[in-house]
Structure 1
Amino acid sequence: MRKTTFLLPILVVVVVTLLSAVFVVDEREKALVLQFGQIKAVKEEPGLAFKIPIIQEVVKYDDRILSLDTETIEVTPSDDRRLVVDAFARYRISDVVQFRQAVGVGGIRAAEDRLSSVLNAQIREVLGADQVTSDTILSEDRRELMTRIRDQARISARGLGLDVVDVRLKQTNLPAQNLEATFARMRAEREREAADEIARGNEAAQRVRALADRTVTETLSEAEREAQVIRGEADAERNRIFAEAFGEDEEFFAFYRSLQAYENALSGGNSTMVMTPDSQFFDYFKNERAQGGAVAGQ
């Protein structure tokens, strides 16, 4: 009985010691076996692993792609228009040994602080380059800029044992104090473009009106010419008919022309004519019978 009582605690201690020597590495993790702060083993494959109890400890790090949001900073492109920029990055621990040596016991928090500084430095460097303007940053060309930031940040992050997978610019806005001036400049530019369009429209309208006036003038001139030709032909035809009529019967032609003269002379209501009775104008108004009777009476 005493022997059993003595062996039971020893058995418990042995079991606890054996259990503390076994640890599990998840497929989403990488593990380091440390002995007095020194790296003794690297466990990157998932499954069971062993360590020396009490003397050795296990530190695990996430092997998945992680996300980091940077702080908002101001950058000044080559056109001196300041922009408020923040970004986010995707990264993963590529070399767990180098990562441990670089950040020590600080772990992921310390690594992200240093990575954030690297990203901000690269954002300032790339967006502040000589050929980069605010319009470039706000246009579709920002894809190329983000690629450059990622590539340069990747080089700097290798010393931390990190691999920068991607970098994206989230916010690229003007500072609040510059918005009103920028909007005023945009309004002035749009008003200038509108004035140019109005001027071009007025110029086009003047050309259309001038063309229309010229067309009207040419049309009227052509119509007047054709009318003159027609009137000339009509007058010629009339004169020909008169000539033929005169040749056929001179007395009738004289009678007809006299009737026209009477009509033109006596058409006005206030017309007054003073003539002698024996004027030739009234030849066709004379009554031969009356004249004959007067001669016989005489």
Structure 2
Amino acid sequence: MRYVIKIVGVILCILLYDSMFIVYETNQAIVIQLGKVIREVKEGGLYFKLPLIHRVVFFDKRVLHLGRDDTQREVITADQKRIIVDAYIKCKIVEPVVFYQTVQNENGLHRRVYPIVESHIRENIGRFSLISLLNEKRSEVMKLIQNGVYSEAKKFGVEVMDVRIKRADLPEENSAAIFRRMQTEREKEAKEIRAEGEQAGQEIRAKADKLKRDLISNALKESHEIRGAGYAEATRIYNNAFKVDEEFFNFYRSIRAYSKSFAKGNTKFVLSPNNRFLDIFNKGWK
């Protein structure tokens, strides 16, 4: 009898435990009986159900982040540029019964919602060029995508809070081609800069050479003028001195000529006695 009472007590405890469930503040729940939803619970607290008959399914009330590595898709822009787009969705479960009946869980939601997101991404990105998507039109495209997904996601019992493109890259082969084109453009630009620098250098060297020639020419001209003026002044002084005493000056010139002519001891001259070079000696003999 004791064992029966213990067994009955254990069964009653199990049934009592199974008849209660707790809904936390971050969760919401639905009660299912034989595959049919009979109740939804959105507030936190302690609740009761029929043990072994009712089943409770919990859902998160917080914002869900939907997005995985396999969500990358290739999209064509209006100017026929291919880009790789990776988007994510933020949403909340607002109608747990509808959510359970349509998608059942987050994985099911991702499988149902993301094709819708992809469709709107292709449709809206296809209206704009790549440059505009990277600049002023990006926020407009995001708003169009979000509005389209928001209206269609209601049928799954969720409210879309945000849809964002977290990366939009060119395919690898396009990136390599763009890199090569950028490299070619930079090399071309570098050659143009070097050519311009060489041209500027040649112009500067030509100007410097011309300036050098002009300076040398002016200096030579000025030196010739100064030298000519000096010669003229020397000639004037020489002539004035010659006029003061012509006989003495002739004697002086003759003496200098003799000193230069007879500088070496072995100098020999064969001259006529009447040669003008010997006038001083001839006058002395007279």
Corresponding position: 1:228 with 2:228? no
Give 1:200 deviation, angstroms: 1.2
Of 209, 212, 218 in structure 2, the residue corresponding to residue 213 of structure 1 is 209
**2:97 and 2:248 mapped to 1: Cα distance?**
136
Of 107, 111, 116 in structure 2, the residue corresponding to residue 118 of structure 1 is 116
Give 1:108 deviation, angstroms: 1.0
Identical-residue share of aligned pairs (%):
29
Equivalent residue number for residue 193 of structure 1: 189
Equivalent residue number for residue 169 of structure 1: 166
Give 1:208 deviation, angstroms: 0.9
Equivalent residue number for residue 233 of structure 2: 237
Give 1:32 deviation, angstroms: 2.6
Q: Normalising by the residue count of structure 2, what TM-score does the alignment of the two structures yield? A: 0.72
Would the aligned equivalents of 2:30 and 2:37 in 1 still touch at CA under 8 Å?
Answer: no
Equivalent residue number for residue 93 of structure 1: 92
Query: What is the letter of the counterpart of residue 99 of structure 2?
Result: R
Query: What is the letter of the counterpart of residue 281 of structure 2?
Result: K
CA deviation string 1:244-287 (max 9, x = no partner): 322433234334555777899999xxxxx99865343x145635
| Pairing of 1:1-298 with structure 2 (within 5 A) | 9=8, 14-34=12-32, 37-38=36-37, 40-43=39-42, 45-53=43-51, 56-64=54-62, 65-69=64-68, 70-83=70-83, 85-89=84-88, 91-97=90-96, 100=99, 103-105=102-104, 107-133=105-131, 141=134, 145=138, 147-148=139-140, 150-155=142-147, 156-157=149-150, 158-159=153-154, 160=156, 161-165=158-162, 167-170=164-167, 172-176=169-173, 178=174, 181-256=177-252, 278-280=274-276, 282-283=277-278, 286-289=281-284, 291-292=285-286
SS in 1 for 2:55: strand
Would the aligned equivalents of 1:29 and 1:62 in 2 still touch at CA under 8 Å?
Answer: yes
Would the aligned equivalents of 1:34 and 1:41 in 2 still touch at CA under 8 Å?
Answer: no
Change beyond 3 A, Cα 1:187–1:32: same
Q: Normalising by the residue count of structure 1, what TM-score does the alignment of the two structures yield? A: 0.70
Unpaired runs of at least 5, structure 2: 264-268
**1:260 and 1:239 mapped to 2: Cα distance?**
18
**2:98 and 2:135 mapped to 1: Cα distance?**
31
**1:98 and 1:231 mapped to 2: Cα distance?**
117
**2:86 and 2:208 mapped to 1: Cα distance?**
61
SS in 2 for 1:49: strand
Equivalent residue number for residue 266 of structure 2: none
**1:57 and 1:143 mapped to 2: Cα distance?**
51
Give 1:149 deviation, angstroms: 5.5
RMSD, aligned α-carbons: 4.1
Would the aligned equivalents of 2:81 and 2:130 in 1 still touch at CA under 8 Å?
Answer: no
**1:37 and 1:125 mapped to 2: Cα distance?**
38
Equivalent residue number for residue 296 of structure 1: none
SS in 2 for 1:80: coil
Give 1:111 deviation, angstroms: 0.7
SS in 1 for 2:160: strand
**2:16 and 2:254 mapped to 1: Cα distance?**
154
SS in 2 for 1:87: strand
